[in-house]
Amino acid sequence: MQFSAAQIGLMINGTIEGDANITVGSFGKIEEAKPSQISFLANPKYEDYLYTTEASVVIINASLVLKAPVKATLIRVPDAYSAFATLMTKYQEMAANQLTGIQHPSYIASTATIGESVYIGAFAYVGEQVTIGVNSKIYPGVYLGDRVVIGDNTTIFPGVTIYKDCVIGNQVIIHAGVVIGSDGFGFAPQADGQFTKVPQLGNVVIEDQVEIGANSTIDRATMGSTIIRKGVKLDNLVQIAHNVEIGSNTVVAAQTGISGSTKIGKYVMMGGQTGIAGHLSVADGTKIGGKSGITKSINEPNKSVNGHPAFDYTTSLRVQAATRNLPETEKRIQALEKLVAELLSERVKP
């Protein structure tokens, strides 16, 4: 798809400097871009590339004062990074909208309800009484169990498995290999040392505008629902256990695990490889450093924590610094002990 600088300017409410009729058809990093590509400059560290780039169009901040002539056509906006992201999103949507219809071979139950302008890729399985909303995209190899509900404008990439009775909202993006609604890890210990499986009879509810990274897993509830609220963003390889609830606009980085029945608040940020024990609560706005272990509830909103077990972020940094100095500290303590012993021996002499 080709777009002129003038058309792009209208899409992102930008001001054109240069040839408004020049066209571009793809994206490129400012230091590598070629003619007929569009790029952006948001980080001042890359400003030198603005004067040498081969890109035909560059999106820049309105406040940027040029230090030298620029060959590219410029589009000035209040926030270049946000505008470029908006542009790429619109481009992706336009490309996706070209996908419609049902490819074969695929299986679609006669009781399924399929909305308008839906795409269903080859080898997809759509079970009994499934509902798929308008303009949603179901890529090849997706499995939708019985009574699954998919909202409007939702994209489910190849190899995703969604078990029966789960509900997916509008404008959700689910990346390849995700499993939603598999059984929660529930086993009852017996007197003879064996474990009896506890049936997992609930479901998973994913609200609107959620994005789930590749190969993440979200377990169905024992009873009720595991709930991912509106606007949550999960990275790749995230494990969400049964009956967890994640509040709106929370972001979770890769390889994080959240144990069963834990309640995560709104606007929480979790670094990679965070582990959270079960039946806890995490307050709104909490920031958790990478590789932290949460072993007790965090009840104070907007608190930053770090470490294992996690505690106040600033204190944890001081502890880390002190830990690095332990060998030297040990030597000083030994020297002080020796000095004290010598002073005491001097005092007891006749």
Q: Is 149 inside a domain boundary?
A: no
* Co-location of 319 and 288 in the same domain: no
Residues 191 and 237 in one domain: yes
Our count of domains for the chain comes to 3
Q: Where are the alpha helices (DSSP H) in 282-325?
A: 313-324
Distance of CA 60 to the CA centre of its chain: 26
Give yes or no for a contact between 126 and 106, defined as CB atoms under 8 angstroms apart.
Answer: yes
- Residue 119 belongs to a domain: no
Judgement on whether residues 283 and 238 belong to the same structural domain of the protein: yes
Instruction: CATH number of the domain at 73, please.
Output: 3.40.1390.10
The proportion of the chain whose per-residue pLDDT surpasses 90, expressed as a percent, equals 83
In a domain? residue 106: no
Q: Is the pLDDT of residue 348 over 70?
A: no
Question: Which residue in the list 104, 175, 242, 279 is annotated as catalytic?
Answer: 242
Looking at residue 70, its amino acid is V
Instruction: Tell me if 232 sits within 8 A of 251, measured CB to CB.
Output: yes
Give yes or no: residues 224 and 319 share one domain: no
Amino acid at residue number 5: A
Q: In this structure, is residue 140 part of a structural domain? A: no
User: 220 with 88, same domain?
Assistant: no
Residue 242 designated active-site: yes
Cβ atoms of 249 and 232 within 8 Å: the answer is yes
- For residue 349, the model assigns a pLDDT of 61
Q: Answer yes or no: do 300 and 323 share one domain.
A: no
Position 10 in a domain: yes
* Full residue range of the structural domain in which residue 279 is found: 160-309
Is the model more confident about 340 or about 267?
267
pLDDT bucket at 341, cuts 50 / 70 / 90: confident
Are 225 and 302 members of one domain? Answer: yes
CA distance 13 to 75: 9
In the chain, % of residues over pLDDT 70: 98
CB atoms within 10 A of CB 318: 10
Position of tokens 């909103």?
301
Task: Say if 291 falls within a structural domain.
Answer: yes
Least confident range from 128-132, 176-180, 332-336: namely 332-336
Give the pLDDT of residue 311: 61
pLDDT tens for residues 284-322?
999 999 999 999 999 999 999 988 776 677 777 777 777
Predicted TM-score (pTM) of this structure: 0.79
Residue 155 lies in a domain: no
The answer to whether residue 138 is domain-embedded is no
Q: Is 75's pLDDT higher than 70?
A: yes
Residue-wise pLDDT for 10-67, tens only, equals: 999 999 999 999 999 999 999 999 999 999 999 999 999 999 999 999 999 999 999 9
Assign residue 193 the CATH number of its domain: 2.160.10.10
236-249 tens-digit pLDDT:
999 999 999 999 99
Is 191 in the same domain as 327?
Answer: no
Of all helices (H) and strands (E), which one includes residue 10? helix 5-12
CA angle 9, 99, 35 (to 5 degrees): 40
Tell me if 178 sits within 8 A of 189, measured CB to CB. Answer: no
319 and 305 both lie in a single domain: no
Of the three residues 63, 78, 96, the one that is the final residue of a domain is 96
Are 233 and 325 within one domain? no
Same domain, yes or no: 302 and 321: no
**Residue 217 or 346, more confident:** 217
Long-range contacts, 169-172 (Cβ 8 Å, 24+):
169/206, 169/207, 169/208, 169/209, 169/210, 169/230, 170/133, 170/208, 170/209, 171/208, 171/209, 172/206, 172/208, 172/209, 172/210, 172/211, 172/212
Among 65, 96, 127, give the residue marking a domain's end: 96
Together in a domain, 267 and 325: no
Q: How far apart are the first and last CA of the chain?
A: 99
Q: What's the confidence (pLDDT) of residue 323?
A: 77
